[in-house]
Structure 1
Amino acid sequence: MLTEERFNSILKILEERNSITVQELTKLLNSSESTIRRDLNSLHKMGKLKKVHGGATSINLKYDTKDDDISHRHTLNIDSKQAIAKYAGSLIEENDFVFIDAGTTIYYMVDYITVKNVTFVTNAVEHAIKLSKKGFKVFVTGGEFKNTTEALVGNETVESIKKYNFTKGFFGANGITKKAHFTTPDVNEALTKKVAIERCLKNYILCDSSKFGKVSSVTFANLCEATIITDRIDNNDDIKKETNIVEVLNL
């Protein structure tokens, strides 16, 4: 394979996968490790990719290591979040026992729940208040109140969730990639999400398209563990192979 052909192949792979290792490229392109490393160095100098230890990442891959304040989140991508929330709300059925995570899209989802005989457990204070005002039975986990997301987190939260068996769970994520899967910035929130997902028969991740290609500090679930509900997903065929995805703008 000629150098230019390898360059194009590497960039096409990164467009689909966001990150790749030297070892993976040697197998995919049937080239030596020294050749691949030389190619990555050249493409890095050309500004086509970002060379990292053991491989490369797309220049479009973004790292998100902190939580935005919840008031700021309510101003972002509102139309997309509302469309996602409407579809997610339609999935809740009579007699469901549902866990709902903190997050603005899930907050909007409450507006679109039409059935009445549903019980909820949540670690999100504002969600609990909204659900209660709509007449639902709501259980709130214990735990430490986190100001930025208005979520309850910590050991008490986790132990509270462990005793339940949910029919469905709805969660947010700060980043989604094939390599890092579903990620969030805070280790305590990640643990809460992880434990809750393990207690649900069906899991749904609600996120708009801006979350794809981003990596946050802590992985809380693998792609295969949940269905993604999003507005749209572009150039992420690798993720589509790993999990079920509902694109609400294409329905």
Structure 2
Amino acid sequence: MTEQGRRKRILGVLADRPFASVRDLVALLDVSPATVRRDLDKLHEAGEARKVFGGIALLGGAARTHALPFGENSDLAVDAKAAIAECAAALVQDGDMVIVASGSTCYQLGVLLSRRPVTIHTNSMPLAAMIGTAGVCQMVLSGGTLHREPGILYDHEDRAPDFNASRLFLGAQGLCPDGVMESHPLIVRTTRMMLERTDEVIVLADSRKLAIRARHLTCPVERISTVITDEGISTDDSAALREAGVRVVIAQAGARA
């Protein structure tokens, strides 16, 4: 396949979804990662798409998408999520009581915190299962019914958890200057309940999330103190968040890049 053919194929992928990882494109195009990265550089330079950490995204941040299942989402932007989780873990002190929400980046944070003397409240079944078998931290688990697609426990009586935390670590399907966005209605409801039980909200979102517009605003920007993201975030996106009063922390993947 020619270079022009590969670039056309990549743009075709972005017509169906807002982000494509280098790993996905290597498999699709049957070329080396270095070749894919050169193609992404040229698409970015030509203004046809936006290069982000781990892959390429649609321009303009106008994409709308359905939430991916936990298992599928866990395979995207793996290095960026690990770096973000490490930055977030450094903000937690031994003895802290924190809420770690559902989602693949929050799961990575939970893995790190599970080895420490902290108390974690979570509604994430994957995280709860991991802590239950391999963790040493204290865990408080949300009550309610298991919903397997988003991987959460949900109380249908819409009761806020009986737990007060210094920080809520929150994932995001999409992130914009207005705040965190989600499509799954149960995640929207559980997030709003968790917001009632925390002093500070820290959003963990890799730079792909700035290219996604989901259905519902679930956490307004004025409620967010910090966004931890990766070096793929654009200058404009970073400036918009800072103008809204949000501290932006860039996680450096270092050897993972």
Q: Tell me the TM-score normalised to structure 2 length.
A: 0.68
Structure 2 CA distance for partners of 1:114 and 1:193, relative to 1, 3 Å: closer
Letter in 1 for 2:175: I
Compute the RMSD of aligned alpha carbons: 2.3
Residue in 1 that maps onto 2:147: 146
Amino acid at match of 2:206: D
Contact 1:141 1:160 (C-alpha < 8 Å) held by counterparts: no
1:138-195: CA deviations, max 9, x gaps? 1111123222221112434x4151x22111111111111124x210001221121122
Partner of 1:31: none
For residues 227-249 of structure 1, the C-alpha deviation after alignment (integer angstroms, 9 at most, x for no partner) is 11101321212222111111112
Letter in 2 for 1:98: V
Give the deviation of 1:65 after TM superposition.
Answer: 4.0
- Find the aligned partners of 2:103 and 2:119 in 1 and give their Cα distance: 19
Q: Distance in 2 between matches of 1:189 and 1:229?
A: 20
**For the residues of structure 2 that align with 1:139 and 1:59, how far apart are their CA atoms?**
41
Q: Distance in 2 between matches of 1:222 and 1:247?
A: 21
Instruction: Provide the residue aligned with 2:64 in structure 1.
Output: 64
Structure-2 residue corresponding to 1:217: 215
Unaligned runs of 5+ in 2: 1-47, 49-57
2:242 aligned with 1:249: no
1:168·1:200 contact (CA, 8 Å) conserved in 2?
A: yes
Q: Deviations over 1:40-78 (max 9, x none)?
A: xxxxxxxx9xxxxxxxxx962333342111111111000
Q: Alpha-carbon deviation of 1:206?
A: 0.5
Query: In structure 2, how many angstroms separate the alpha carbons of the residues matched to 1:159 and 1:118?
Result: 24
Provide the rounded CA distance (Å) in 2 between the counterparts of 1:177 and 1:239: 8
Amino acid at match of 1:246: V
- Provide the rounded CA distance (Å) in 1 between the counterparts of 2:68 and 2:123: 18
Aligned equivalent of 2:112? 112
Q: Are residues 186 and 83 of structure 1, via their aligned partners in 2, closer, same or farther at CA, if it must alter by over 3 Å?
A: same
Give the aligned partner of residue 8 of structure 2.
Answer: none
How far is the alpha carbon of 1:114 from its aligned partner? Answer: 7.8
2:191 is aligned with 1:193:
yes
Q: Render the CA deviation track for 1:199-240: whole Å, top value 9, x for unaligned.
A: 111211101000014211111111121211101321212222
Query: Aligned partners of 1:141 and 1:176: how far apart in 2?
Result: 25
Cα deviation, residue 250, structure 1: 9.0
1:8 equivalent in structure 2: none
- Alignment correspondent of 2:229: 230
2:82 aligns with: 82
Rg larger in structure: 1
SS at match of 2:94: coil
Q: What's the offset of the Cα at 1:84?
A: 0.3
Contact 2:59 2:211 in 1 (8 A): no
Percentage of matched positions with identical amino acids: 21
Alignment of 1:139-178 (within 5 A): 139-156=140-157, 158-161=158-161, 163-178=162-177
Q: Distance in 2 between matches of 1:164 and 1:209?
A: 31
The 1:198–1:160 alpha-carbon spacing in structure 2 relative to 1, beyond 3 Å, is closer
Q: Secondary structure at the match of 1:66?
A: coil
Deviations 1:125-149 (A, max 9, x none): 1111222321111111112322222
For residue 215 of structure 1, give the secondary structure of its aligned residue in structure 2: coil
